[in-house]
Chains A and B, each alone.
Chain A
Amino acid sequence: MKENAVLELHNIYKTFPGVKALQNVDFTLCEGEIHALMGENGAGKSTLIKVITGVYEKEEGTIYLKGNEGEAHIHSPQDAQNLGISTVYQEITLCPNLTVAENMFIGRTKGSITNWKKMNEDADKILKSLDIPAKATQQLATCSLAVQQMVAIARAVDMDCKVLILDEPTSSLDDSEVRKLFGLMNDLKSKGVGIIFVTHFLDQVYEVCDKITVLRDGKLVGEYEIENLPRVELVSKMLGKELDDLSDIKEESVVYEDKGDEVPVFEAKGLQSDAGIKPFDFFIRKGEVNGFTGLLGSGRSECVRAIFGADRVIKGKVKKNGKEVKISKPLDAMKQGIAYLPEDRKVDGIVGDLSVRENIILAAQVLRGFFKPFSKAETYKLADEYIKLLDIKTASADTPIKSLSGGNQQKVIVARWLLMHPEYLILDEPTRGIDVGTKVDIQKLVLKLASEGMSITFISSETDEMLRTCSRLVVMRDRKVVGELSGDELTQSGIMKTIAGGKQEEIAESSEEGGESVG
């Protein structure tokens, strides 16, 4: 084991049926270090964490812990806890109806009798030492989310942990609460605790971390000291694209023929929903394809959900063809001709037990109205049409959609919204989990529909897909819109630079170095 390493993982392998979640991953965490673990969707971050915390068992590889002779055997969350690895999850895993003190000690005290006085005193001591603004006797639910998060950390810390894992701790915190959290983390750092910080927020990583480990597609990309990794490079490593201006193949970028004084089909000003994004403006023109880009968690889906009325809209105006319209729920949007393919098809997209054809006709049926159901013959006809059009592989139109493969399920949902013949189609990650051939088909379909006059918003984690189809890209970072690119700006490097943001010198530096990666 390395000198002051507190946790070391070597050659970790973990597979699930059909998926190589982790391949030959190494990871080292040192004492008194805040180490960021980053990667896009499917990179393997959460799998790695679950291997460390004993939720999953690794197939191959070794784990070493400081103070442990030889290999550490972690087969359950209890094991991990006993070995000094504490985890604080994104959702608060505490009981809101119990007091702060109880939440800190429940489940790990010896003996069956609760000594309230001692428990409260001990809790107050810890709260004070970590400067957490809460009383031991307070009911947890009466504390703000940030404080609850800190209580969870206090519990983890009190268990004399060597390794503290924070999984997306800042997702539901506002700026001042994030400050408090960072203060706490630095405090722990000075006490020698090793902290793994899993997050999507770039700015926060650069503010508080010492090292960054990047994963991509289950493999280790590298471990870097924070001073040695400019933001742009970090972004490029996460997305797997090399930052090299010269090697940028100038593909024919999609250009939108602006007919000058045309009123946008849809326009939104100061739109804000209760999903936590900063208010934004938006517009799209007839036959235009635009996209929202940014790292996972930057708020892309939240923006389009606000446009569709899927989340509760707090502020803002929406106009269609220049006239103000009210969109407060999905049906309103649908009536205005907007269709939305959600990002999470399992939770928001498919209706599992219903058949393929029922899923296909659903949205169109709702638009038709309660008293005008499609006849069975009609549903079969429509379903067959789209099964053929999108090459959906299913035993029959009556197969329950949940038994289709993920890619085919996605195609059914696409069919559903196409059937509605929308004026404005929003596709949120339509190509996720689909085979390469169909990915291309969908992109071709998008361009075809656009040429026929449909307005489309295309969101994808694969930036080259968006570059091939979109004529305009809205760039997002940390839940707010940070830029808009069109025309010549539509290049990989252009996107990454805008996502990365940061000091101007950083960007200049990295362009000079020509994108050499360190570490």
Chain B
Amino acid sequence: MNEKNKTGFGSKFTKWFGRTSDTNLLLTITIVVFFLMYLGAIVFQGQGFLKPQTFFNILNANAALIITSVGLSIVMICGGIDISVGGVVALVSMSCAVYLDFHGGSIIGAIAIAIGIGVVFGVVQGFLVAYLDIQPFIVTLAGMFFARGMTTIVHTAPFNVENEAFVNLKDTRVIVPGFGSYNKLGNYVNAYVEIGVIVAILVVILFFIILRWTKLGRSLYAVGGNAQSALMLGINVRRTRFLSHLICGILAGIAGFVYFMHVGSGSASHASGMEMNAIASSIIGGTMLTGGVGNIIGTFFGVLSLSTIQNIVSSAGLDQAWWTGITIAAMLCIFLVIQSVVISKKKKLLTK
């Protein structure tokens, strides 16, 4: 069957295709798709997309999503799932808002609350999944409803935070030198990102390192790949699963504060659907639902791809609320199919 491809590009590609790992293969697809999309955006929507600030605004608007997606990727690599992250983000925003404005709290205190909430969710969910063997979907589905419910119990009406220290923090712009542009009046405006973006990038780098170089990181991949084998190889499967949920919970807490910094308010409808976006970003980024495959860089590009789509949709004048839902679901579906087709083609290539 491969005689035709003995020489030339075809055979080289086939060889690379067969020998490269699943993770790398999917990552390649993701990055290629993202660049194609961004190119498409530039070509079709022109002007706006050529400005670097547009790109930075994508980061600004999605810093929280990047962080939750990293957390979700980690849980998915380990073979589980967590759909409570959106609810946790909303709960964190509302709790911090109430704390700052009604109890005169400090920024440090708010951050502590954010992380604390994340830890609680992570620990409880992790325990139920890892040590009581309950399906992660049910546990985190309940977690999501619990978080959303608690958000309204903490405070019913949405409101903007007026705490001075916080507003200053929120409005801080971190200048990115060299990427500025001229606005309509001819003045040079610096490109900027919000603090949340810095946090997001630090999270991405940190967990990229953890997943690639630490024992915990490699255990996550092992357990997700084949939990039974991992057990035989001497890995503590329960502890690894527990830690994956704990990490996801903590990251949801951090993302909650980042989100809070971006929107500056508390509301029960915040981060609606964020968990689905995080899952979609992870899958588009090359994380497989079945576990054992995925990487943080891919997830990062997955978020970017998702938001680029949203930008294209809104600048094309389509009703954002509805069209983004459909396009995300379509991308999800396509990527799920691509994943299974690619992986099965690879298997066929090997067994004959």
Contact = CB atoms under 8 A, between A and B. Distances in A.
B230 interface: yes
A228 interface: no
Given A109-B215, A142-B350, A99 B234 contact: no
Interface string B205-236: 00000001111111101101110111011110
Contacts of A77: 232
Interface string A73-99: 000011001000000010011111111
User: Which of the four size classes fits the interface of chain A?
Assistant: 20 to 34
By secondary structure, the A interface counts as loop
Contact of A97 (B19, B20, B213, B293): B293
B292 interface: yes
B233 A106 contact: yes
A138 B18 CA distance: 10
A103 B232 CA distance: 11
Contacts of B265: none
B221 A97 contact: yes
Contacts of A99: 21
B18 A95 contact: no
Interface stretch (A111-119, A202-210, A238-246, A340-348): A111-119
A141 interface: yes
Contacts of B233: 93-95, 103, 106-108
A427 B228 CA distance: 34
A144 interface: yes
Contacts of B22: 97, 139, 141
Nearest to A81: B234
A139 B346 CA distance: 12
A102 interface: yes
A139 B21 contact: yes
Contact of A142 (B18, B215, B217, B225): B18
Contact of B235 (A107, A111, A116, A142): A107
Interface residues of B, number: 31
A78 B234 CA distance: 7
A114 B221 contact: no
Given A139-B21, A144-B350, A95 B226 contact: yes
B23 interface: yes
Interface string B288-316: 00001100000000000000000000000
Nearest to B20: A139
A153 B224 CA distance: 23
A144 B229 CA distance: 18
A94 B230 CA distance: 7
A55 B292 CA distance: 27
A216 to B, nearest CB: 29
A134 to B, nearest CB: 11
Interface in A182-216: none
A86 to B, nearest CB: 11
Contact of A112 (B215, B226, B228, B346): B215
A258 B235 CA distance: 63
A516 to B, nearest CB: 43
22 contacts: A92-B229, A94-B226, A94-B229, A95-B222, A97-B21, A97-B292, A98-B221, A102-B218, A106-B222, A106-B233, A106-B234, A107-B233, A107-B235, A109-B215, A111-B215, A112-B215, A114-B215, A139-B19, A139-B21, A141-B347, A142-B346, A142-B350
Interface of A: 77-78, 81, 89, 92-99, 102-103, 106-109, 111-114, 116, 138-139, 141-142, 144
Given A97-B22, A141-B347, 4 more contacts: A97-B293, A109-B215, A112-B214, A114-B213
